[in-house]
């Protein structure tokens, strides 16, 4: 039988068209060839499910730091979601697939069944108007009432619809104290209401990379499936604690050296705040130690992590050094501008730390699957 050819017409948003053009050009391909190759690769990734691996979905995926960690722990990603067009470009370049867009517009039933849900959701305040009204009427308020209007609500509705065996959520350290602890209390209550055993811990990534980076990690296991579960964050960091000099490049472009105008401004700004008794100011990092926390605002002036240079002004980190500071491999490609790269790595995660937590989760699932009493 003669194979049938099929012409497919796809409606794309303007920014998606631009991303396709840029990606095709960077790969020295026509748009048609690039789409064809990407479609086949994505088809292969989604069609071939390895039953020996735990499957996971990557929500609020950013540039894929959580994905790299879980893939390192021998898990298979079967769905990803990210709305930022620049992050989607980086994700496409490194994983060969375009993450789905706005999670608020995704029907949870269309997301494939999976073993583990992974999400680095944003920290947002919760409105209490609807909750207060229900309480005054003596009626219980569920997670829908408590979390409606936030992106965490979308995490909950996916968990409710798909009931993964486990989940890992990541957020900034301040989530624990945000809104006098109320935000975290609602998050914890919402997850336990979904009938999951929930564990959390604030962990500093400096055990894995030369950076002081505290984040909260929330792990949950399905009680309907496993009953009462015990879990500990018994991490296994490398014996050699890395220092900043381990990740620095040897030949750095002069464009990363601060201008005298900016360097003078940062010094005067720091002096002003020191005199006022504040601790604000730039940070000259010790090559034999660790750096401050890399933030998404690093693109503005690089003030929080500066590298001293003999005979000239200090410099900021290069995008590749920022990638290394987060534990990304050098094989990870950076197809965006420096400013976008600084934002992306500043918003990302410590990859080897995620790998370690992913292994703990999969090891626990192995025990639970084989012996529910574990």
Looking at the structure, do residues 105 and 185 belong to the same domain, yes or no?
yes
The answer on 366 and 271 residing in a single domain is no
96 and 159 assigned to the same domain: yes
5 domain-assigned = no
Tell whether the model's pLDDT for residue 47 goes beyond 50.
no
Q: Give 21's pLDDT tier (boundaries 50, 70, 90).
A: confident
Share of the chain above pLDDT 70, in %: 82
> What φ, ψ does residue 307 adopt, rounded to 5°?
-110, 120
Q: Is 201 among the domain residues? A: yes
The answer to whether residues 113 and 224 belong to one domain is yes
Is the pLDDT score of 303 beyond 50? yes
| Between 285 and 44, residue with greater pLDDT | 285
**Does some domain include residue 2?**
no
Q: Residue 4: inside a domain, yes or no?
A: no
CA distance 257 to 305: 12
Residues 160 and 37 in one domain: no
307: pLDDT strictly greater than 90 = yes
CB neighbour list of residue 11: distance below 8 Å, 6 or more residues apart: none
* pLDDT tens-place string over residues 120-158: 987 765 554 444 444 443 444 454 556 655 788 899 999
* Same domain assignment for residues 173 and 250: no
What's the pLDDT at 167? 98
- The whole-chain average pLDDT of the chain stands at 86
Whether 1 is in a domain gets the answer: no
State how far the Cα of 341 lies from the Cα of 325, in Å rounded to an integer.
13
Distance CA 280, CA 269 (A): 8
CATH number for the domain spanning 162: value is 3.40.50.150
**How many whole angstroms separate alpha carbon 328 and alpha carbon 321?**
9
For the CA atoms of the chain, what is the radius of gyration? 23
Residue 65 belongs to some domain of the structure: yes
In a domain, 158, yes or no: yes
* Residues 182 and 319 occupy one common structural domain: no
Q: Annotated active-site positions, please?
A: 123
For residue 119, pLDDT beyond 60: yes
Position 198 scores a pLDDT of 97
Please tell me the number of Cα atoms within 13 Å of 353 on its side-chain side: 27
What's the confidence (pLDDT) of residue 197? 97
pLDDT score of 270: 82
- With cut-offs at 50, 70 and 90, classify the pLDDT of residue 207: very high
Residues 216, 120, single domain; the answer is yes
Assess whether 185 and 254 both reside in one domain. Answer: no
- pTM comes to 0.84
Q: In what order do the strands lie in the sheet with 196-204?
A: 76-80, 55-59, 116-119, 166-172, 214-222, 196-204
> Which is higher by pLDDT, 28 or 75?
75
Range of the domain at 27: 11-48
Confidence of residue 274 (pLDDT cuts 50, 70, 90): confident
Same domain, residue pair 189 and 210:
yes
Beta strands 55-59 and 76-80, pairing class: parallel
| pLDDT surpassing 60 at residue 74 | yes
Per residue in 167-188, pLDDT (tens digit) is: 999 999 988 888 888 889 989 9
CATH number, domain at 326?
3.90.120.10
Residues 59, 77: one domain? Answer: yes
Residue 355 lies in a domain: yes
Whether residues 220 and 319 share a domain: the answer is no
Domain total in the chain: 3
Average pLDDT over residues 109-118: 96
pLDDT at position 12: 73
């Amino acid at each position: 039988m003669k194979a049938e050819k099929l012409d497919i017409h796809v409606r794309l948003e303007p920014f998606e068209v631009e991303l396709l053009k840029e990606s095709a050009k960077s790969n020295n391909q026509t748009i048609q060839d690039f789409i064809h190759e990407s479609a086949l690769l994505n088809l292969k990734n989604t069609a071939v499910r390895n039953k020996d691996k735990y499957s996971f979905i990557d929500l609020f995926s950013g540039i894929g730091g959580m994905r790299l960690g879980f893939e390192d722990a021998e898990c298979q990603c079967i769905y990803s979601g990210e709305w930022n067009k620049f992050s989607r470009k980086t994700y496409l370049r490194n994983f060969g697939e375009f993450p789905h867009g706005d999670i608020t517009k995704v029907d949870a039933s269309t997301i494939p069944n999976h073993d583990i849900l992974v999400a680095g959701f944003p920290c947002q305040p919760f409105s209490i108007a609807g909750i207060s009204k229900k309480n005054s009427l003596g009626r219980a308020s569920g997670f829908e009432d408590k979390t409606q209007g936030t992106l965490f609500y979308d995490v909950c509705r996916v968990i409710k619809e798909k009931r993964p065996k486990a989940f890992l959520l990541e957020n900034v350290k301040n989530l624990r104290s945000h809104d006098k602890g109320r935000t975290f209390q609602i998050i914890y209550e919402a997850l336990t209401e979904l009938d999951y055993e929930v564990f959390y811990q604030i962990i500093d990534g400096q055990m894995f990379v030369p950076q002081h980076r505290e984040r909260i990690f929330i792990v949950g296991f399905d009680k309907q499936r496993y009953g009462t579960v015990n879990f500990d964050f018994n991490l296994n960091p490398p014996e050699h604690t890395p220092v900043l000099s381990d990740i620095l490049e040897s030949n750095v472009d002069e464009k990363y050296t601060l201008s005298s105008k900016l360097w003078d401004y940062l010094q005067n700004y720091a002096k002003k705040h020191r005199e006022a008794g504040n601790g604000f100011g730039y940070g000259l990092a010790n090559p034999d130690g660790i750096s401050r926390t890399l933030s998404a605002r690093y693109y503005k002036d690089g003030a929080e992590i500066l590298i001293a240079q003999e005979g000239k002004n200090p410099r900021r980190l290069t995008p590749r050094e920022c990638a290394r500071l987060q534990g990304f491999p050098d094989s990870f490609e950076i197809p965006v501008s420096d400013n976008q790269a600084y934002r992306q790595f500043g918003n990302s995660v410590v990859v080897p730390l995620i790998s370690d937590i992913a292994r703990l989760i999969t090891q626990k699932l192995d025990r639970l699957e084989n012996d529910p009493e574990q």
